[in-house]
Amino acid sequence: MSRTKHILRVAAKAVVGCAVLAGLGFVERSGDSLPVRDIQVEMDLGNGMHFISTEALKQEVLNGAGPVIGTPVNKVDETAIEQRLRAIPCVAEADVYHTMDGVLHVRARQREPIVRVVNANGSGFYIDKEGWTMPLNRNYTARVLVVTGQLAEPFATCDPVNVAEENDSLTLQTHSRAIHAMARTLMADPLWNAMFTQAVMDPDGNITLIPSVGMMRVRVGDGTQLAQRLAKLRMFFSEGIPQTDWRRYSTIDLRFDDQVVCIKRTPY
């Protein structure tokens, strides 16, 4: 008798398990056939920059190749929507997925520019932390390092390019890779990030840093030894002159080995 009860108990569990699996399958199938009733967008703004709003991203989804609201969730091409959003120059990443309540979710991350390049003809663009170029935005201006000079960088009007990639033939002919490397070096140090808000690059690629306070110019060469030369400048500031005396000099030249050459400001 006990053996019969055991067999019946096992059979009952199997029936219940099959019923649960069938129920889950029905829920999944019915959930996939639900029409999209809403789109929810989450945007990671990075350092608080606002190149694009969540509402603008939502409109990009709605203005795609086909209707979204009212379409069964299993008929929505989520991969195509992701590709559309990732094609926006200021968007670094985009993920699209749906939940069983008929909501289409969009999660996106905005690019974080670290430098703005201004060409001699007035055109310009940003470069983000990862080296991708970004067009300027008529509705928002990022407060980042600005590089000016006799520049003719070609990235103001072309599609986004990663200037940090070594195998890109176009970037090898420009100064943008050096500009990006310089900006990353300055950004990595709180002192230099706060102190230097502008840089000027000459046609040969030599860089002059301009601090946010005072009229001093800091010459650092082509940027290949920037970290070492800034370390020399830090030592000079801490041991050579107090901060109150910085304005006595018009130029500090760091291009020479084991030397800091200062030119005093000419009195008016």
The tens digit of pLDDT for each residue in 25-68 reads 444 444 567 898 999 999 888 777 888 889 999 999 998 767 88
| C-alpha closest to that of 177 among 166, 189, 193 | 166
pLDDT digits (tens, 9 = 90+) for 181-212: 999 999 999 999 999 999 999 989 999 999 98
**For residue 232, is it within any domain?**
yes
Tally the domains of the chain: 2
What's the pLDDT at 3?
56
Is residue 240 very low, low, confident or very high in pLDDT (cuts 50, 70, 90)?
A: low
| Domain range enclosing 76 | 38-110
Domain assignment of residue 169, yes or no: yes
| Alpha-carbon gap, residue 5 to 136, rounded angstroms | 76
Tokens found for residue 203: 């046609």
Q: Pick the last residue of a domain from 88, 110, 132.
A: 110
Q: HSE (CB half, 13 Å, CA atoms) of 29?
A: 6
Q: Could you tell me the pTM of the whole model?
A: 0.81
Whether pLDDT at 13 is above 70: no
pLDDT band at 2 (very low <50, low <70, confident <90, very high): low
Do 247 and 152 sit in the same domain of this protein? yes
> Does residue 145 sit in the same domain as residue 207?
yes
82, 110, 138 - which closes a domain:
110
